Structure 1
């Protein structure tokens, strides 16, 4: 396991969000809102096309961060997520995240700590579309 340090920042690999991803997420969570699954309807919206679910993009950003070595076997529980959605992800957009270790602190339980990660989710046009923080319980042994 890589040692964590406050201020440490990594950039995740990119991920292109496809139609299959959006449809799979809609089916998985049961959210069939027309902006996500009905192109004819979506063309009448300010986006002009279908967009990915906000939580889908958030989950993808967190998932991509697992490939960086910041999480791995050290994470043993989720405590809190605070997330802001400022842009949309259209089908075909490629996203990646910059993830920073924002805070590390010990807990009262031996071998455990709290880690807070700050996320900035960016599309292929370098537009920030989401920002968030995730606090997790981590093993410190």
Structure 2
């Protein structure tokens, strides 16, 4: 249907989720601090993420961000755009996660998402289930991470 920047609003109810519409988020530049903090928080201090000398000897030619950091950045950018910020109830799961390319210090990334499925919740009459296909791209448009996220979203009251 087309690509549009996402305009955050409080009217992001289940009923308003349109299948096939793609939105893009603001962008963000990945810093050395991001990689160091993520490693410290998670305990993933692999040399590929922490040692310039080691990382230069790999096929990447330098330090890269953790794959899980990239997944987190992708989700965070969608949240930053306001998607389901006031109507989301719970994240139910991620499926078909693929890591396509690395992110290096200084790369700028942006996410885009497309609603691909929605249905009423069987257990929550006040909510529905929405599945979004989400992708993280770098400043050159290269696909970094892709996957699908399933979320429980509030229906419009009344």
TM-score range, shorter chain: over 0.9
Count of matched residue positions in the alignment of Structure 1 and Structure 2: 141
Match of 2:134 among 98, 119, 132: 119
Are residues 1:110 and 2:121 paired? no
Match of 2:31 among 10, 14, 18: 18
Q: TM-score, normalised by structure 1?
A: 0.95
1:73 is displaced (CA, Å) by: 1.6
1:136 is displaced (CA, Å) by: 0.9
Match of 1:136 in 2: 151
Match of 1:90 in 2: 104
- Indicate the SS of the match to 1:89: coil
Match of 2:74 in 1: 61
Contact 1:114 1:138 in 2 (8 A): yes
- Indicate the SS of the match to 2:20: coil
The two structures, once aligned, show a CA RMSD in angstroms of 1.0
- Indicate the SS of the match to 2:26: coil
Contact 1:105 1:115 in 2 (8 A): yes
Match of 1:101 among 115, 118, 140: 115
> Which ranges of structure 1 fall in alignment gaps of 5 or more residues?
none
1:99 is displaced (CA, Å) by: 0.7
1:121 is displaced (CA, Å) by: 1.1
- Stretches of 4+ moved more than 4 A in 1? none
1:67 is displaced (CA, Å) by: 2.6
> Which ranges of structure 2 fall in alignment gaps of 5 or more residues?
1-10
Contact 1:4 1:70 in 2 (8 A): no
- Indicate the SS of the match to 1:59: helix
